[in-house]
Amino acid sequence: MVKVGFIVEGDSEKVLIESAGFRKWAGDQGLEICSPVINAKGGGNLLPHHIKPMLAQFARSQPEHIVILTDLEDAADVEAVKARITTEHTNLIFIAVKALEAWFLADTDAMRRWLNVPDFFEPTPEQTLEMPWERLKEVAKAHNSRGPGSNKVIFAKKMCSSALRYELERAAAHPACPSAKAFRDGLVELGGNNSPLQG
């Protein structure tokens, strides 16, 4: 098993990485997720001088690779975010475009379970007019379903629960969610497993 440490932007990303479904998927790829999953508590804290002290939290688990997962949000582009963070202390940086909730929109099966709408499909989860969180509210309203609520962390827990069963593999297989695919492919490569997308 390849030991990987994660530094994530916020609570929702931490929920995803620590979820039973993601841990199982990672284990299937030959990856061991080191504890703790570090919550940077904001993209602004993902700067080299902030990251260095965070790495001390991995002293006991000794990961072989460090992966950062953050959102694009209002940044000009992915390269601007990567340039700000730099790879001085990390191996891989992944950016969820525009935000992690786009990956939830991209898992069609989990969305259909959440909405209870068997034919739901979000054609462009990364290209929503507003932020993906607002798009989740819109689709719930359009389908007369209960909305995501007001708390993104609670919604992330719901999506990753055994009831809705969000899977990174399905989001990565969405034809218009390249950031999820890049994250999936990067982790698969770290594990030395080149298995094709299952979808």
- Per DSSP (E only), the strands in the chain are 2-8, 31-33, 38-39, 65-71, 92-96
What is the token pair recorded at 55? 């790495």
**pLDDT given for residue 79 in this prediction:** 84
**pLDDT given for residue 32 in this prediction:** 96
**pLDDT given for residue 164 in this prediction:** 97
pLDDT tens digits in sequence order for the chain, 199 residues long:
999 999 999 999 999 999 999 999 999 999 999 999 999 998 888 888 888 889 899 988 999 999 999 988 778 888 888 888 887 777 788 888 889 999 999 999 999 999 999 999 999 999 999 999 999 999 999 999 999 999 999 999 999 999 999 999 999 999 999 999 999 999 999 988 766 676 5
Buried b (16+ CB within 10 A) or exposed e, 61-82: eebebbbbbbbbeebeebeebb
What is the token pair recorded at 183? 């994250």
**pLDDT given for residue 199 in this prediction:** 56
Pairing of strands 65-71, 38-39: unpaired
**pLDDT given for residue 59 in this prediction:** 87
pTM value is 0.92
